[in-house]
Amino acid sequence: MSLISNAMRFCVLFFALALSGGLAQAARHGAPAHGQEEGGGARVLRDIAYGELPRQRFDVYLPAQPRGPVLFMVHGGAWRSGSKSEAAVVENKVPHFTAQGYVVVVADYRLLPQAEPLEQVRDVARALAAAQGMAASWGADRKQFVLMGHSAGAHLATLLAARPALVSEAGCAPWLGTIALDSAAYDLVALMEQRHLRLYDQAFGKHPATWRSLSPYHALDGAHEVRPLLLVCSLLREQACPQAQALAGRARALGIIADVLEQKLSHRDLNLLLGKPGAYTAGVDAFIARLPGLQLRAEDGGAPGSR
């Protein structure tokens, strides 16, 4: 009986260890847990729904001590690819901004061919409105959002900033400013009338009326308030900085604060390296620090102060 009892105990122990190992492996390879801690002490809330469709989700990165502002990031991908979880999107931005007390939100949105760019910008607006509605539960301030996008996401972010009807349609509150990382698609009419990449035809078709309606440049009309713009552009690309300078010039003529930050960095590196120490990150930080209305609560939970 002793041998049988020992054998049974061994079997139980073996299966328990096997099960725990399997669960550990599943945890390593499965979806990250809701509320999982990231590097740098930030806690991440995955796949928060802002709509019913699978791509209508965002992730939220919570600092150890939220101080009020929220960075809302829109990924790129030529309007047909990309993800909120790509390393270039989150690897350096999340630790940099959460270390300062920012909540960071990174949104997915529907892509071509399921959704045209106008529906994509509507998804961004819905996601922004949903995040603003949840901000207080994260210890953040719904009035202190900074909107940022890279590449196609930069086009969508600036188009949303320039078209107030889309903002009110989604129920968004005003945000402090918009940072566009290296789009070359602000004036689609000018872009499409020159030699251009085929991806723009796939996104915007062949009709000048469509190009105009989806151009942040042409959407700016001076009739509505637009918060400050920072247009980051790569000097290594042929059209990015001329497009950024043209949009900034039009914005300034309408009384809108608009800065251009030209960098000798590749299109990819303007996304990946933001948050790494250096002149580029310092330039973006300086723009944010100047935004009217930006306030960071004291780290000890005391009274807020302007940064």
| Model confidence, pTM | 0.87
9 falls within a domain: no
User: How many helices and strands in the chain, by DSSP H and E?
Assistant: 13, 11
306 falls within a domain: no
Q: Could you give the CA distance from residue 142 to residue 134 in angstroms, rounded to a whole number?
A: 8
Q: Taken in order 109, 110, 112, 118, is the CA torsion positive or negative?
A: negative
DSSP state of 127: H
pLDDT computed for residue 142 by the predictor:
98
Per-residue pLDDT tens listing for the chain (307 residues): 443 344 444 443 333 433 333 333 333 323 333 566 665 679 999 999 999 999 999 999 999 999 999 999 999 999 999 999 999 999 999 999 999 999 999 999 999 999 999 999 999 999 999 999 999 999 999 999 999 999 999 999 999 999 999 999 999 999 999 999 999 999 999 999 998 999 999 999 999 999 999 999 999 998 788 999 999 999 999 999 999 999 999 999 999 999 999 999 999 999 999 999 999 999 999 999 999 999 999 986 544 444 4
In angstroms and rounded to an integer, the radius of gyration of the C-alpha atoms of the chain is 22
pLDDT computed for residue 84 by the predictor:
99
205 falls within a domain: yes
246 falls within a domain: yes
pLDDT computed for residue 153 by the predictor:
99
176 falls within a domain: yes
14 falls within a domain: no
20 falls within a domain: no
CA distances from 188 to 163, 201, 237 (A): 15, 10, 16
pLDDT computed for residue 12 by the predictor:
39
Is residue 210 classed as helix, strand or coil in its secondary structure?
helix
Closest CA to 80 of 128, 148, 152: 152
* CATH number of the domain residue 220 falls in: 3.40.50.1820
**Residue 172 CB neighbours (<10 A):** 24
pLDDT computed for residue 301 by the predictor:
54
Looking at beta carbons, which pairs linking 10-19 to residues 24 or more positions away fall under 8 Å? none
pLDDT computed for residue 285 by the predictor:
99
Is residue 183 classed as helix, strand or coil in its secondary structure?
coil
pLDDT computed for residue 65 by the predictor:
96
DSSP state of 42: -
Give the contacts of 224 (CB within 8 A, at least 6 positions apart).
164
**Residue that is written with structure tokens 């900033």 in the block:** 161
19 falls within a domain: no
Q: Could you give the CA distance from residue 214 to residue 121 in angstroms, rounded to a whole number?
A: 10
pLDDT computed for residue 223 by the predictor:
76
- For the chain, the domain total comes to 1
Domain membership of residue 112 as a residue range:
35-297
Q: Could you give the CA distance from residue 246 to residue 242 in angstroms, rounded to a whole number?
A: 6
